[in-house]
Structure 1
Amino acid sequence: MVAQPQQKPILISGGGLSALLLARSLLRSNIPFLVFERDASISFRAQGYRLRLSNEGLDAVEAVLGPEGFAKFYDACGKTGGAGFAAVDPLTGENLGTEHSTVRREGLSSRDGKVIGIARGTMRSLFIEGCEEFVRWRHHVTGYELTDGGVRAIFADGSKSVEGSMLIGGEGIKSQVAKQLSGGKLKVYDLGARGIHGQASTTAFKALGEGVFRAVDETSHPEGRVFLITNVRAGDMDDPNVDFGWTIGGSAGVIKAPNDDYTIIGKQAADIARGLTKLWHPRVRSLIDNMRDDDAAFWKITCSSPDGVPEWPNEPRVTVIGDAVHAMTPAGGNGANTAMRDSALLGRLLAEAGGFKEGVTAEYEKVMRVYASEAVKKSFSTAEVSYSAVINESTATI
């Protein structure tokens, strides 16, 4: 019997949510793959705001993980009652209700009539299960080269990967694969707005009660507004060993990191958050005053063009997923859910094809452009209202 040639692996650039969920899909389909991630380990960037999962996001995760894997995933998610945001006046601590002008009119609940949320770090840990031996840490992908029969990833030190059958760029908003593939058409705009996210024990949240809360301070800062969003889950509220997360955002110019360094984590970020909220009522300020300093981190508010995902000449062996192709503001909670859809869609097409096949990336990009363009537009339009986001010819790109 003639031995069959060994199938070349699918190369995945980045170890974020969409990349790891795609890897998990390939694992279930017995398609060889390798993941290249610039960080030293999965715990290198543990900070991150909690993600709300839509029905579409949950359906995508379930399609990839299967019944058993999804049951474990869903069990790890927090479930909060209430269908939408409730407004709180941060200066008086007064409940303003769900119809107040500072509250976005959007349904938050998904399965079982609950708001489903999970920490980024928890998601990554669950998605990577079974894939660990195929992840190559400390490998920063800066581009790729096509070969006669495949593709190689190029790393920051000038070395190259083994030859793969395909390369999937999933390394986030600074993706060099996306830039090369699209000829610079894929751009991410820096909206100027900034945020800080952090965590505190449940005891700091008790005065709020259960729900998804939004507090907007329009008057304390001459540069613009500051807002806070948090999710308080009744099922965990009485366990002081559980932390709840919150995120603070500010319009452009309000939140400034030392030396404009937004990679800073820890006490410096925590102290700035406390300074921004020093005039707030104790009912709300308790979340910030009692934060765990080590968990505080900055984040930039960025977005792809609200005109939609652009067209570029299709390359059968290379495509992009997640924030690499459609970065979104946190407004509307669309980014991660859309990324999950990418992973499920591309994973399904690859499973049906048995791996690389002409036409797979073209079909994926055709379908993805429709739902991703809609999601980016929705996210940006919400950000226009929430923190006066603007994208025009003078808006900086990253």
Structure 2
Amino acid sequence: MASESRKPILISGSGLASLLLAQSLRQANIPFLIFERDASISFRAQGYRLRLSAEGLEAIESVLSPETWKMFWDKCGKTGGMGFAALDAITGEDITNEPEKPTYKPEKPSDPESKNQPLALASRDGKIVGIARGDMRKVFLDGCEPYMHWSHNVTGYELTDSGVRAIFADGSKSVEGDMLVGGEGIYSKVAKQVSDGKIKTYDTGARGIHGQASTTAFKGLGEGVWRIADESNPKGRVFAITNLRPDEMNDPNINFGWTMGGQPGVIQAPNDNYSIVGVEAAKIAKELTKNWHPRVRPLFTEMVESEAAFWKITCSTPTGVPEWKNEPRVTVIGDAAHSMTPAGGIGANTAVRDSALLGRLLTEAGGWKEGVTAAYEKEMRVYASEAVKGSYGMATKQFGVVIDENSPTV
């Protein structure tokens, strides 16, 4: 890597935002190091399939080299056909054009839902573009492996006279870097430290389960993005979303993923332990869907049990990304800066915009310089705050969640 005379940009975490930022730095020959708490990229489940917005795709394409972009684009599924459709989980009937039943009514005009309508996820060429999170992460990792430090859990940082060092869970410290970027998700210690606790991630109480099954389980559906809604559960609404790509639907060796969500109190893990995966998570998904229509029930009866995993639905402060005193050598990206509910699929698209923006500013500066983090945070707060508000506004209807400053944080 060129520019070896410069101290590296230190990146905490190896999620999508972190790895895309690393790709941007690699293209610009700016040295960097990535510190990840997991032992490898396959250490834990990679989660669900992501739908990409036009803005998200533009951000990714602006960063990747032509060769890596082609690799990424070839991995993406392009869904046309029915586009978006909704089914009643119990009857199997099409409810696409029926208005969604709200679960939360704004009490006053300033409430988030009243100002934020559902955001359309337009993509390219009339197609909905999606990719498995694991595949996306592998593409973004390509070429960055020599700069990865696995099993390094960043718990904070210290500023030096001319840079910054990451501090790890065992008390050791990194080499000195020009700058530290916290991209380690909703539990980011870097985010808490740099914002002096102003960045908060709230536990909405809503929960979900990710899963997958062979394409043979999806024969009752067809090409498109499907939302399956169950209003019959006495504890609250349950739904599932899946994205079916036409070029893969007839290959029984391919698994399609789905993600299930439930209102607070509906999906509960044994002993409230949401790190449990596999059979325990699969058992709950099957129980919740035991009365679902034969058209959709195979998604769960034929699921790959070992791939099931719980997830908590979290959200940043609904009013948007908070202000904090800028630290010139430390900033945050992705979920570390702005956690969002899955409503509308906005979170990952906003995260890659962070990576593209910060990467461009660093590239233009030839590396770190005074003012880069301030410029990044000023611009990021505008689009990310709108995204958080929109995501929360939709989640009040889809998940029945309501949070305020007194809600529990993660």
* Interval of TM-score (by shorter of Structure 1 and Structure 2): over 0.9
Give the distance between the partners of 1:108 and 1:309, measured in 2 at CA. 22
Which of 351, 357, 360 is the matching residue for 1:339? Answer: 351
Deviations 1:94-128 (A, max 9, x none): 22234453699653331111111111110110001
Match of 1:12 in 2: 11
Cα displacement (A) at 1:68: 2.2
Corresponding position: 1:243 with 2:255: yes
Corresponding position: 1:140 with 2:156: no
Give the distance between the partners of 2:159 and 2:197, measured in 1 at CA. 18
Whether the aligned pair in 2 keeps the contact of 1:329 and 1:335 (CA below 8 Å) is yes
Amino acid at match of 2:157: Y
Match of 2:308 in 1: 296
Whether the aligned pair in 2 keeps the contact of 1:202 and 1:244 (CA below 8 Å) is yes
Deviations 1:264-297 (A, max 9, x none): 1101100110000000011111101111011100
Cα displacement (A) at 1:85: 2.6
Whether the aligned pair in 1 keeps the contact of 2:210 and 2:309 (CA below 8 Å) is yes
Match of 2:112 in 1: none
Corresponding position: 1:167 with 2:166: no
Match of 1:111 in 2: 124
Report the 3-state secondary structure (helix = DSSP H, G, I; strand = E; otherwise coil) of the residue aligned with 2:373.
Answer: helix
Share of identical aligned residues, percent? 68
Whether the aligned pair in 2 keeps the contact of 1:84 and 1:98 (CA below 8 Å) is no
Give the distance between the partners of 2:87 and 2:6, measured in 1 at CA. 57
Amino acid at match of 1:291: M
Corresponding position: 1:131 with 2:144: yes
Give the distance between the partners of 1:267 and 1:205, measured in 2 at CA. 21
Cα displacement (A) at 1:5: 8.1
Report the 3-state secondary structure (helix = DSSP H, G, I; strand = E; otherwise coil) of the residue aligned with 1:145.
Answer: strand
Give the distance between the partners of 2:77 and 2:273, measured in 1 at CA. 32
Give the distance between the partners of 1:5 and 1:216, measured in 2 at CA. 54
Match of 2:61 in 1: 62
Cα displacement (A) at 1:82: 4.7
Number of aligned residue pairs:
394
Match of 2:217 in 1: 204
For 1:249-398, what aligned pairs fall within 5 Å after superposition?
A: 249-398=261-410
Match of 2:29 in 1: 30
Report the 3-state secondary structure (helix = DSSP H, G, I; strand = E; otherwise coil) of the residue aligned with 1:215.
Answer: strand
Higher RCO (C-alpha under 8 Å, 6+ residues apart): 2
* Structure 1: stretches of 5+ with no match in the other structure: none
Amino acid at match of 1:56: E
Cα displacement (A) at 1:216: 1.2
Give the distance between the partners of 1:5 and 1:285, measured in 2 at CA. 56
Match of 2:111 in 1: none
Which of 175, 181, 189 is the matching residue for 2:194? Answer: 181
Q: Are the structure 2 counterparts of residues 290 and 382 from structure 1 closer, same or farther at C-alpha, using a change threshold of 3 Å?
A: same
Deviations 1:321-373 (A, max 9, x none): 00000000000111000000000000010011111100100100010000000
Amino acid at match of 2:250: D
Give the distance between the partners of 1:101 and 1:354, measured in 2 at CA. 50
Cα displacement (A) at 1:218: 1.0
Structure 1 range deviating more: 167-176 or 204-213: 204-213
Cα displacement (A) at 1:71: 1.5
**TM-score, normalised to structure 2's length?**
0.94
Amino acid at match of 2:84: F
Report the 3-state secondary structure (helix = DSSP H, G, I; strand = E; otherwise coil) of the residue aligned with 2:295.
Answer: helix
Give the distance between the partners of 2:128 and 2:65, measured in 1 at CA. 22
* Structure 2: stretches of 5+ with no match in the other structure: 103-116
Whether the aligned pair in 2 keeps the contact of 1:216 and 1:227 (CA below 8 Å) is yes
Match of 2:38 in 1: 39
Deviations 1:116-149 (A, max 9, x none): 1111110110001010010000000000000000
Cα displacement (A) at 1:67: 2.3
Report the 3-state secondary structure (helix = DSSP H, G, I; strand = E; otherwise coil) of the residue aligned with 2:229.
Answer: strand
Whether the aligned pair in 2 keeps the contact of 1:139 and 1:155 (CA below 8 Å) is yes
Amino acid at match of 2:140: F
Amino acid at match of 1:107: A
Amino acid at match of 2:392: F
Structure 1 range deviating more: 106-115 or 57-66: 106-115
Cα displacement (A) at 1:223: 1.4
Report the 3-state secondary structure (helix = DSSP H, G, I; strand = E; otherwise coil) of the residue aligned with 2:95.
Answer: strand
Report the 3-state secondary structure (helix = DSSP H, G, I; strand = E; otherwise coil) of the residue aligned with 2:257.
Answer: strand
**TM-score, normalised to structure 1's length?**
0.96
